[in-house]
Amino acid sequence: MPARAADGYKAPMPRSVFEPFRIHSVEPLRMTTTEERQAAIRTAGFNLFGLHAADVLIDLLTDSGTGAMSRDQWAALQHGDESYAGSPSWFTFLDAVQELFPFEHVIPTHQGRAAEKILFTAIGGPGKVVPNNTHFDTTRANVEYTGASAVDLVVPEGLDPAAEHPFKGNMDVGALTALLVEQGRERVPAVFVTVTNNSGGGQPVSLENLRAVRAVCDAHGVPLFLDACRFAENAWFIREREPGQSGRSVADIVREMASLADGMTISAKKDPLANIGGWLATNDDALAETCRNLLILTEGFPTYGGLAGRDLEAIAQGLREAVDHDYLRYRARSTAYLGEGIAAAGIPIVQPIGGHAVYLDARSLLPHVEPLAYPGQSLAVALYEVGGVRGCEIGTVMFGRRPDGTEAPAAMDLVRLAVPRRTYTQSHVDYVIEVAAEVASRAATLGGYRIAEQPAQLRHFTALFERLP
């Protein structure tokens, strides 16, 4: 008897990669007119950080702490135990962290930069040099605040927005070796690798590169730290792109990444899917003791850091969800969808598209605006004025001022459209693409800016700008 049609039938893999969740509660968005937005950005000194969030329609300023928590995270909050010392929530958090990052000492903080501040206070100082593939702004600022130098050593492809390379976040191992030979282990307290490389376009770092960096660190007796904010997205790209990795679970790849390092800093506001939190981890007993003492000065007791017990619970649950393959497939695909749409709309972007954001190449789109007139700021303001879309300049505004006060163009002038996790739908993204197309059509009319007022550090957050005539 012939087999029934259904016997042995396997449906093809669906081509649509859709949100692996349903919406459980909603937040309203407030529509604004062009005139309202023009007035709002002028009042904010043309600084997008100065806007009222209620005046923003689609907020792609950052993926940091802006994601939607899951039902299970909200439920986990109810388990929060607010005991000052030794809370059960601390042990839940510790287990979840060490499941992925089996470092001996885990030191919770209220966010990533608090972990950086404590670590670099302990290991930085005048004359020290900290290499990284690319320092994130707070990381660089915390290194430099101690009097140490922050040196970026990403591979050359990482500085070319158009270069197609699967791991543009990789560290330039030759340059790292040369730096370690020149400076010696006494001056280099740690080598950092940022996964994924946020300031360099959200580009991943391969396992092969991490292993090579580890070997160089071993040869020079220098510890290796991960800035692991986007560890899950990095591991997903390793699984997707690195030969021999496709059969592994993301959790397993994360554990291997951790095994290659001696410690880490992280913001739980990114891949751990929480709205607040971070931690510092190390295998070094003496360093951990110094850091815990600093933690008590500024953050709190070592079993809560700057966090409530309920926050520790939300992070622990978020860590379990962060390595889910359906979630990561959707995350990578939905970010790529935004990037493909923007590129098709005529705005050059950093290729390949990273995990958490699309980086628009403002310097290429606006060749008539010289880097010291901040083409990234110009593009970011235009996206807001035209459609209420808020992005973030990552270029000469953010990185152009040297510690001695002089100014030089950053390596690239980008605008980052960061995608909050599990927050916007495909039709929101279609709207952003429509706005980008309108801005691209007006590119020749966009002018530059000058800075009217700025603080000594991290100026992009609070600087006030004026339009150049």
Ligand X SMILES: Cc1ncc(COP(=O)(O)O)c(C=O)c1O
Chain contacts with ligand X (rule: CB under 6 A) = 64, 111-113, 136, 138-139, 194, 198, 227, 229, 267, 269, 278
d(Cα 359, Cα 393) in Å, to the nearest integer? 9
Identity of the residue, 61 or 100, whose beta carbon is nearer to ligand X in the bound complex: 61
Give which of 59, 61, 54, 60 is closest to 32, Cα–Cα.
54
Q: Report the nearest approach of ligand X to the CB of residue 289 (Å).
A: 23
Beta carbon of residue 45, minimum distance to ligand X (angstroms, whole number): 22
Strand-by-strand arrangement of the 149-152 sheet: 105-109, 278-282, 263-267, 224-227, 191-194, 129-132, 149-152
Task: Write down the least CB distance from residue 135 to ligand X, Å.
Answer: 8
Minimum distance of ligand X from residue 228's CB (angstroms): 9
| Least distance to ligand X, CB of residue 148, Å | 17
- Residue number with the smallest Cβ distance to ligand X: 112
Backbone angles phi, psi at 348, to 5 degrees: -65, 140
CB of 294 to ligand X, least distance (A): 16
In the complex, least distance from residue 397 CB atom to ligand X, rounded to whole angstroms: 16
E runs forming strands in 182-303: 191-194, 224-227, 263-267, 278-282
**Is the Cβ of residue 268 or residue 365 nearer to ligand X in the bound state?**
268
- Taking the least distance from each CB to ligand X, the nearer of 365 and 394 is 394
Q: Which CB, 113 or 292, lies closer to ligand X?
A: 113
Residues whose CB falls within 8 Å of the CB of residue 292, separated by 6 or more in sequence, listed in order: 105, 107, 302
Helix (H), strand (E) counts: the chain:
16, 14
Distance in Å, CB of 281 to ligand X, minimum: 14
Instruction: State whether residue 34 is helix, strand or coil.
Output: helix
The answer to whether 336 and 399 are in contact (CB under 8 A) is: no
Between 376 and 448, CB nearer to ligand X? 376
If the CB atoms of residues 112 and 204 are measured against ligand X, the closer one turns out to be 112
Burial class (CB in 10 A: 0-12, 13-18, 19+), 92: buried
Please report how close the Cβ of residue 64 comes to ligand X at its closest, in angstroms: 5
DSSP 391: -
C-alpha pair distances (Å), 17 with each of 20, 333, 339, 359, 443: 9, 7, 15, 22, 33
Q: For residue 146, what is the DSSP state?
A: T
Q: Cβ(93)–Cβ(73) under 8 Å?
A: no
Q: Which is nearer to ligand X, 138 or 334 (CB)?
A: 138
Sign of CA dihedral 77, 80, 82, 88: negative
Shorter beta-carbon distance to ligand X: residue 258 or 433? 258
Which H/E stretch holds residue 114? helix 112-123
Cβ closest to ligand X, residue 101 vs residue 449: 101
